[in-house]
Amino acid sequence: MSELRLTLAVVQVLRAFLDDVGQPRYGYDLMRQTGFPSGKLYPILSRLHRAGWLVRENEGVDPAAEGRPARVVYRLSPDGAAAARGELAALAEQLRPPEPVRPIRRLRPQGRSA
């Protein structure tokens, strides 16, 4: 599996897959889940697939019986799932807001000198 430049859009797609790792996804379902148009989603799927993060396969249906062509489904590869979790955790850590600033507790009461 190769490295991948993680943009915010890529992270959003990975997040959609991590909701249910074993669940294969259609492109159109991912479009609706992420709100991305096809022009934005498919290049991301292509990059993730080429990098080995996603597995791409035909759904197992008989087109003649279903009356429609078989669709392509995507799912996270085992390595892709582990990497996605790791990357999202790292990103969440980076984006975690800092602790609120607490007032410095004075060691000595005001108005007194050593």
Partner 1 sequence: MSGAAILLGVLAGVVGVVIGDLASSEIRGRLDRIPYRLIQFAARRLDETSRADATAEWTAELRAVLRQHAADTVPLARLLIGTRFALGVVRAARTIDRDLRSVVKPPAGPTGTGLATTLAEVARTASSLRSAAPPLVTDLVDAELARMSALVTQLHAGCATYSGEDQDWLLALARNTRTSLDATSITTTDHTGLRYDGSFWASDLAQRYLLTQRQIIASGVPVRRLFILDRPELAHDTALARLCRHQTQLGIQIRLLAPAEVPPDRLGQLTDFIIFDHALAYETLGPAHPTRCTDRDHAISTRLYLDPTQIADRARLFHDLWQAATPPTTRQHRPEPGA
Interface residues with partner 1 (CB under 8 A)?
A: 1-2, 26-28, 37-43, 46-47, 49-52, 54-55, 68-72, 77-80
Calculated CA dihedral for residues 100, 101, 102, 106, nearest 10 degrees: 170
Distance in Å, CB of 41 to partner 1, minimum = 7
Place of tokens 């597995």: 55
> Whose Cβ is closer to partner 1: residue 40's or residue 89's?
40
> Whose Cβ is closer to partner 1: residue 67's or residue 97's?
67
> Whose Cβ is closer to partner 1: residue 3's or residue 99's?
3
Distance in Å, CB of 60 to partner 1, minimum = 13
Distance in Å, CB of 68 to partner 1, minimum = 5
What's the CA gap between 79 and 54, in Å, rounded? 9
Distance in Å, CB of 32 to partner 1, minimum = 10
User: What does the block give as tokens for 47?
Assistant: 């990059």
What's the CA gap between 41 and 39, in Å, rounded? 6
Calculated CA dihedral for residues 66, 67, 69, 73, nearest 10 degrees: -30
